Amino acid sequence: MILNVFISHSGYASRRKAADLVKISRVKVNGKIVTDCNYKIQPGDEVAAEGNLLSVNKFVYIMFNKPLGVTTTVKDRFAKQTVIDYLPPHLRMVYPVGRLDKNSQGLLILTNDGNFCYHISHPKFNIEKEYVLDVKGNVTVRDLRRAKKGIIDNGELLRLKRVSLKWIKKGVSRLGVITCEGRKRQLRRIFTSLGFKVIYLGRVRIANLHLANLKPGKFRILNKGTIKKMLEA
């Protein structure tokens, strides 16, 4: 890991601020001033910024309600807004857990804990993700069965763990969907293949963590107890 990335992952400063600290000789590695942001930190190195010893072992877990139109990434020069833009500088050492496309909204977790990210994201752990979808058209029981059974799209088997019809109003069907997989645009691809256009997609739950009344664009830091319960769910 290079020096300014190490500093940002420690939570002491944003990556840009970390680079500034390095350039103005405010950072030491093993007691010596280092002014090269690309200096590679080795296991066992001691890194200090402005006299403060840093560590990347401090994990942060953030629950975020991603608004529509926001890109789920750390950095994208083509994106008007990313999820990281909603966080204060001292919390921008985190990364999104899983996917939530630009035209979808809802619950997203951000963290710098790689093991937690792997556990929540990988299908083998069967972590449930729950969504609410609105699609154009009248969805039938047969459509629900086909969606649960799965469809083949571009050589991938896409399927749902559970799907239910909540209501139909004025030619729009509201669905409740649960899946344990996170393939790219999975839900949109399934219902498009079944002949329905998704006009709203929101994630409301991951494992036992519910979005509840957290407003779009707002975040909440999760404590270790909550994270432990998620992993045990």
- So which residues are the catalytic ones? 101
**Which phi and psi angles does 77 have, rounded to 5°?**
-70, -15
- CA pair distance 83, 99, nearest whole angstrom: 12
The string of DSSP letters for 163-198 reads EEEEEEETTEEEEEEEES---TTHHHHHHHHTT--E
- Number of residues that this document lists for the chain: 233
Tell me the pairing of strands 151-153 and 198-206: unpaired
Tell me the pairing of strands 198-206 and 105-111: parallel
Cβ atoms of 211 and 107 within 8 Å: the answer is yes
Contacts of 100 (CB under 8 A, 6+ apart): 66, 72, 106, 108, 203
- DSSP 3-state assignment of 84? helix
The string of DSSP letters for 121-141 reads H-GGG---EEEEEEEES---H
- DSSP 3-state assignment of 58? coil
